[in-house]
Structure 1
Amino acid sequence: MQERRLSAVAPRSRPVASRAGVRCASRRQVPLPGCWPGEGRRRYTGPGAGARGARRCWVAEACGSGPPARKGAATFQEVADSPPHKVAEILDGELVLSPRPAARHALSAFGLGGMLFGHFQAGGGGRGPSTPEWWILAEPELHLAKDVVVPDLAGWRRERMPQLADVAAFTVVPDWVCEVVSPATVRHDRSRKLRIYARESVAHAWLVDPLARTLEVYRLERGRWVVVDAYGGDECVRAEPFASVELPLGRLWLPSPSPSPEPRPAPRRTRRKRGPA
């Protein structure tokens, strides 16, 4: 399966340059995964950058290389004191409160978690490996450095975490995370949270979009997210790190409402002609 690496380069109208270790091309600028336009790239300032006639290029930077400026100094106590009907997180030092998932969002998270739980955590039961390989949890609270992150799903390989501690929050970095994006959380899911996961060396990340009905699969390589593949609709997929099992994506989406029957036209009333008096 061919992998696609996301990079940020100068627009076609700009000249580009190359140096050892930096690959530049005259292609259109595209955003890095987990970055909004303007993030994840810097202007090349290496040797010869200021020389006359020197060409210029944009060098892609890992989104996990450093957090943006902090907007506040949120504390763990603020998370504990947050309203119970909100999902409380600390992202780059800022307290972020998100609404609880709607039905469409919850269906995708529950459906995917159930399929993975049955295959990789419940000990097989004729469907998966005889020995459980993963711990799969829904909405675990992760304390990663000074950040508090709550992914929709997270998984730990049992070879790294043999026992599941009965705690409210985890400090062990998961091997896989999944974010179910929604209009209310998409900016944090695709930008700040992916950047935090990259910084903490989470090996795999999935982004599920119930509205677009898509699954995006990412792998971390050298601190940068690499797009492994993207799927959509009712495909049956094998996606790492769970490629040993085929997952039917159609079970993750809210069924489309049945079209209402078209109203029948009212019968036309005809006027009777009167005969001669």
Structure 2
Amino acid sequence: MGNPAATIPSFEELYAQIQALPEHLTGEIVQPGVLRTMSRPGRRHRRAAKLCQQSLGPFDLDAGGTGWWIEAEAEIRFPDGRLFVPDLAGFRVERVPELPEDNPLTILPDWCCEVLSPRTASDDFAIKLPFYARSGVSWVWIVDPTHRLVEVFETVAGRPTLAAIARDKDRIALPPFEGEISVGSWWLPGPEA
């Protein structure tokens, strides 16, 4: 007699495990039925995420700006039983006039930002970036604080397409936001790693 087929845990079962994680850990469902846990990010990552969010203040309705809801580390339920926690996610106010208090959010963002960490960089590029595009997220930023680089991807025909790059101390318009953004302050001082 053969072994019974392994049952894939449901989204609800995995999400209950995420909620039970200790405070120093967070979790995502990057592949259906598979829980990925990770520790909180290091200083380089935290600084880039914080200063990126501050740079977007003129666009964030919660920060007195206009046009967007910018959320830090929001849990977002994606199709196919996945749960992603992008470092930043943006929702256009014209499409989402009131951002619900739901957790996880089931409204997909218009923009996501992933700040790379050594442990998660591969998944951010190989799994999350193409999945965001296939799911209809219009724009994705990949922020690399080690190499002082921001890559902006636009979704074209369900695929991520490189649309802009900002390096080191560039002051440049980064779609989908209008107006120049200075990325120089996002990086820790010292030589590029």
TM range (shorter): 0.7 to 0.9
Instruction: Give 1:159-198 correspondences, 5 Å limit.
Output: 159-198=94-133
The range that moved more, 75-84 or 95-104, is 75-84
Please give the residue correspondences for 1:117-132 in structure 2 after superposition, counting only pairs within 5 Å: 117-121=57-61, 122-124=63-65, 132=66
Answer yes or no: is 1:231 the counterpart of 2:166. yes
Q: Which residue does 2:3 correspond to in 1?
A: none
Unaligned runs of 5+ in 1: 1-70, 125-131, 258-277
CA contact (8 A) 2:75 2:104 kept: yes
Q: 1:221 to 1:144 in 2, by over 3 A?
A: same
Q: Which has the higher strand share?
A: 2
Is the 8 Å Cα contact of residues 99 and 184 (structure 1) preserved in structure 2? no
Which residue number corresponds to residue 107 of structure 1? 47
Match of 1:139 among 43, 63, 73: 73
Say if 1:206 and 1:217, in contact at 8 Å, map to a contact too. yes
Taking only the aligned residue pairs, the percentage that are identical comes to: 36
What amino acid maps onto 1:179 in structure 2?
A: E
| Amino acid in the other structure paired with 1:184 | R
- SS of residue paired to 1:190: helix
Greater fraction of residues in helix? 2
Q: Work out which of the two has the higher radius of gyration on C-alpha atoms and give 1 or 2.
A: 1
Question: Structure 1 residues 72 and 99 mapped into 2: Cα distance closer, same or farther (>3 Å)?
Answer: farther
Give the conservation status (yes or no) of the 8 Å contact 1:112–1:252: yes
Q: Report the counterpart of residue 140 of structure 2 in structure 1.
A: 205
Does structure 2 conserve the Cα–Cα contact (< 8 Å) formed by 1:155 and 1:176?
Answer: yes
Aligned counterpart for 2:186 among listed residues 237, 240, 252: 252
Give the partner amino acid of 1:219: E
Partner-residue secondary structure (3-state), 2:169: coil
Q: Please give the per-residue CA displacement for 1:9-44, whole angstroms capped at 9, x wherever unaligned.
A: xxxxxxxxxxxxxxxxxxxxxxxxxxxxxxxxxxxx
The unaligned stretches of length 5 or more in structure 2 are 1-6
User: Could you tell me how far apart the structure 1 residues matched to 2:130 and 2:170 are?
Assistant: 29
- Aligned counterparts of 1:118 and 1:108: Cα–Cα separation in 2: 17
The answer to which of 71-80 and 150-159 deviates more is: 71-80
Q: Do residues 78 (structure 1) and 14 (structure 2) align?
A: no
Q: What is the alpha-carbon root mean square deviation over aligned residues? A: 1.7
Count residues with an aligned counterpart: 179
Q: Distance in 2 between matches of 1:97 and 1:188?
A: 13
